[in-house]
Structure 1
Amino acid sequence: MSSAAAATAPAAEGAPKKSKKLLFIIIGVVVLALIGAGAAFFILKKNTAEPSDGHEEEAVAEYHAPEPGTPPTFLPLDSMVVNLADPGGNRFVQLAITLQVQDAKVSDAIKIYMPSIRNGILMLVSQRTAEEILKPEGKEKLATAIIEEISMVMGYELDEPSEEGAKKRRRRAPPNPLQGVLFSSFIVQ
């Protein structure tokens, strides 16, 4: 029996050595994982950091003068079907709009605000009657209203219309990067 007891004693001493190695391996893996997570957090925070002066900077509202001869960028919107404000409520318009913008950066910025922009356009169109929007002047007014709506959502400044005979001079807003609204489809039923 003494030989059996002697055989189990070294086996019992060998088990704690193995568990200590396993413990050190697990601790090492956890420490490496924490270091990796900290490095990833630092890199991601550095890439998405806000300006340090405390003021929020809106990249959307910045104006960058286009290079001369640079063609505009066109951003087509999904087609929309909108009920019109006609009596009886049985008239609607199907329209497809393409926005003419200064460059691809402005196009990307507009895509970020697209749900708000589409909502604003739908609200503008739904306030008009078929008679109003079938006239060329009505389409021009709608296009101007759409530019104003998108500019408001994006934070672009617009020149206020000057009253005739007004002697006050107002500060001119920087040129609007939203250059135009083009109707690629306009069907009233």
Structure 2
Amino acid sequence: MAAPPSVVPPWQDDAAVIERSWDEPECFGVVFDAHYAEIHRYASRRLGPHAADDVSAETFALAFRQRHRYDLSHGSARPWLYGIATNLISRHHRDEVRALRAMGRVHPGGEPVGGHEDEVARRASAEGVRGALTEAIAALPPDQRDVLLLVVLSGLSYDEVAQALEVPFGTVSSRLNRARKKLRKALGGTNPLLDDDEEEMRR
């Protein structure tokens, strides 16, 4: 017996669910349930929790309205949703800069055990690096910042970032390379976000 229209088999990928939602709009809720939490987490890390609520809700509202334009050759909707969210985040540049700078001021918490001078120095150094890093990210051009944070915060591959932003693979690679060079320069030759081994793993 066929499943009722409101029931989506668990084995169906996002593309199949989205295609089905063309005729059965309620099925799109499966995509929402599968991806809302990670899209909200991504938006929250870029904008802070308050703005993330609005961006996440708007991401899925826009995705629902544009579902007939979804490329069904892509089984997972993650890159598509991250792309929509990233475009919406670009309208909140001031919120993003504020969130990044606030992140740079966050302390790990707690007092150094025993008050040892080396522990105090280590934490001071870590906080200085974090502050410099967030300032450097905030200063990146938006296109470079988007690529960097999609790779770092979402774990998307280069191909998926290209899909999300609708740009060629080579553009993703060149933007990320430029961003990393700027971060290295700002941090005195080191970049704690992505080292060469991690970059290779993303490809």
Q: Shared topology, TM-score over 0.5?
A: no
More helix, by proportion: 2
Structure of greater Rg: 1
**TM-score, normalised via structure 1 length:** 0.30
Which fold has the larger relative contact order, with Cα–Cα distance below 8 Å and residues 6 or more apart in sequence? 1
